[in-house]
Chain A
Amino acid sequence: MMKNVIEIANLRVVRGGREVLPDLTVSVPAGQVVGLLGPSGSGKSTLIRAVVGVQVVESGEVTVLGEPAGSPSLRRRIGYVTQSPSVYDDLSVRANVRYFANILGAPASATDEAIEAVDLTSHADSLVGRLSGGQRSRVSLAAALVGDPELLVLDEPTVGLDPVLRRDLWELFNRLAAQGRSLLVSSHVMDEASRCDRLLLLREGQILADDTLPALLVRTETDDAEHAFLSLIDRAEEAAR
């Protein structure tokens, strides 16, 4: 088994004339839930888009599962969930998930399993357009799970969900990692850090920290991720002065 599922070297991305990622080098280990945390506008989505190979990049290398990001052979091995739910509002939950299952060549049983995994079995025949925002984002997640990917790349999958559902989804992510899959999950909610095996703290396109939460707390002498993040920002600004 490979050590790192994602390796990024000197990645530079410019969007709309703005340098979103100036020069980013980082790697994501296999078999873990890695949290990509940072405020909105820090470059999380851009980094995620570069990993799944839909982002035009200026320079640098992004290697995913041993191949350049965006390689055709990766399309079956990565599950990508965009920040806003990308599913069809005018189809039922089941029709949506089944369509993606068919496109990915997943077995027939995978559809109901994926719907079960995101706890939408009771809504399987509802039109997605009639569901709440949180339910729709879970449909979007089910459409990625259904292909049984080795690597799941999730852009803010828990935003707007109630605490119980958030806990359930993080348990699902931890379970998937325990089964040997790798996950890169972005969030701007710092208290989700405790759910991750490892953290990447991103601010203004720079990685402020790449560590486990306990090690980070020890290093910054703080007792939660939010304060650790603030302390790192203060230190970085002091160093710059």
Chain B
Amino acid sequence: MNAHRTLFTAGRVLAQLRADHRTIALMLVVPCVLVGLLAWIFNDTPVFDGIGAALLGVFPFVVMFIVTSVATLRERTSGTLERLLTTPMGKGDFMLGYALAFGVMAVLQALIATGFAVYVCGLDVAGPLWQLVAVAVLDALLGTALGLLASGFARTEFQAVQFMPAFVLPQFLLCGLLVARDRLPDVLHWVSDVLPLSYAVDAMKSVTTSASPGADVAGDAAVIGLWVLVALVLGSLTLRRRTA
């Protein structure tokens, strides 16, 4: 692993994104539109305060998952990945470079979406706002890491996009947004205890409901961080220098 190659790769990925104004706009605007829509649907009810923050954690996860899995698949099909792996580029440099670049995008996305939810849609947050942003960024990183992993199993763009419902929707159903996790059937509860998005939603809920959620959020964040690490390591194992 080499910090220079990681940073050059992150810089290159960001330069590619910069050339694609529409993708940047979609990454930054779509979460705001969805949050706004949700606030509007549940106008004059307490529902938005209950789930708004949790969704702030889910959007960056979903968006980054899709963007990352397609970006890495492009890298595989265009031959650039094969070429990079004949150079001194380490697999870890490659994975971390991507995680870093999309992490930067995640910070932007989280700041904008959180600001929009709180200041425009009037989301009530009892805890410190920066923790909301921090968890959103961590969720985006989780999306990036799982997207990198998923793209290792996709041969075509069609498959890559299909992995979104396969990887993401089960987590969404079980993360406690639709039914509180402790009211799920036992087996599903255990499954939800393992899935990372559950911890993202738990953390977001703690920040909105408690004035000093620090310890709870830190515990949840640690689990998400562990998942990010595991997904990055597993993802780098799917990068093969030799192929048939």
Residues in B with CB closer than 8 Å to A54 are 82, 85-86, 241-243
Segment at the interface with B among A30-38, A81-89, A175-183:
A81-89
Kindly list chain A residues whose C-beta atoms are within 8 Å of the C-beta of B185. none
B242 contacts across to A, CB distance below 8 A: 53-56, 70
Question: Are A82 and B87 closer than 8 Å at their CB atoms?
Answer: no
List residues of chain A with CB within 8 A of the CB of B87: 75-76, 100, 103-104, 147
Contact stretch, chosen from B11-19, B43-51, B220-228: B11-19
Contact residues, B95-110 vs A (CB, 8 A): none
A90 at the interface (CB under 8 A from B): yes
Q: Which of B4, B19, B20 contacts A102 (CB 8 A)?
A: B4
The answer to whether A99 and B78 have CB atoms under 8 Å apart is no
Q: Is B179 on the interface with A (CB-CB < 8 A)?
A: no
Does A39 interact with chain B (Cβ within 8 Å)? no
Residues of A208-239 at the interface with B, using a CB-CB cut-off of 8 Å, are: none
B86 and A56 within 8 A (CB)? no
Residue among B9, B83, B242 having the largest count of chain A Cβ atoms under 10 Å: B83
When distances are taken between beta carbons in the complex, the residues of chain B under 8 Å from A76 are 87-88
* Chain B stretch 1-46: residues in CB contact (< 8 A) with chain A: 4-5, 8-9, 12, 15-16, 19-20
What separation, in Å, do the CA atoms of A104 and B242 have in the docked complex? 20
- Asked if A53 contacts B241 (CB within 8 A), the reply is yes
Q: How far is the CB of B22 from chain A (nearest CB, A)?
A: 12
Bound form: Cα–Cα A84–B79 in Å: 8
Closest residue of A by beta carbon distance from B78:
A86
**Given A54-B242, A55-B242, A84-B79: A127 touches B86 (CB 8 Å cut-off):** no
Number of interface residues of B (CB under 8 A): 24
Q: Say whether B89 faces chain A, with CB atoms less than 8 Å apart.
A: yes
Interface pair B12/A91, CB less than 8 Å apart: yes
A56/B243 in contact, CB under 8 A: yes
**A86 touching B83 in the complex, CB below 8 Å, given contacts A95-B15, A102-B4:** yes
Does B80 touch A at the CB level, under 8 Å?
yes
Identify the closest chain A residue to B81 (Cβ): A86
Bound complex: CA A76 to CA B20 (Å)? 32
Cβ of B112 to closest chain A Cβ, rounded Å? 23
What chain A residues lie within 8 Å of B82 (beta carbons)? 54, 82, 86
Closest Cβ neighbor of A16 among chain B residues: B244
Within 8 Å CB of B85, what residues of A? 54
- Interface assignment of B169: CB less than 8 Å from any CB of chain A: no
> Which residue from chain B places its CB closest to the CB of A143 in the assembled complex?
B83
B130 nearest CB across to chain A (Å): 34
Contact A104 B88 (CB under 8 A): yes
Let me know if B211 is at the binding interface, CB within 8 A.
no
From B4, B9, B20, B86, contact of A78 by CB (8 A):
B86
Q: Shortest Cβ distance from B92 into chain A, in angstroms?
A: 14
Q: Does residue B84 face the partner (Cβ distance < 8 Å to A)?
A: yes
Closest Cβ of chain A to B25, distance in Å, is 16
Contact in complex: A80, B243 (CB < 8 Å): no
Chain A nearest CB, measured from B7 CB (Å): 9
Question: In the complex, which residues 133-158 of chain B have their Cβ closer than 8 Å to any Cβ of chain A?
Answer: none
Query: By the criterion CB–CB under 8 Å, are B80 and A103 in contact?
Result: no
Instruction: Sort A-B residue pairs by CB-CB distance and give the 6 closest, nearest first.
Output: A86-B79, A102-B8, A86-B83, A99-B12, A90-B19, A90-B16
24 sample A-B contacts, Cβ–Cβ < 8 Å, listed by A number = A15-B244, A53-B242, A54-B241, A54-B242, A70-B242, A72-B88, A75-B86, A75-B87, A76-B88, A80-B83, A82-B79, A84-B79, A86-B80, A88-B80, A89-B78, A90-B19, A91-B16, A99-B8, A99-B12, A100-B87, A102-B5, A103-B9, A104-B87, A105-B88
Can you add 17 more A-B contacts, CB < 8 Å, to A55-B243, A72-B88, A91-B19? A56-B242, A70-B241, A70-B242, A75-B86, A82-B79, A82-B83, A86-B82, A87-B80, A88-B16, A88-B78, A90-B19, A90-B20, A91-B15, A95-B12, A102-B8, A103-B8, A147-B87
Q: Which residues of B contact A (CB under 8 A)?
A: 4-5, 8-9, 12, 15-16, 19-20, 78-80, 82-89, 241-244
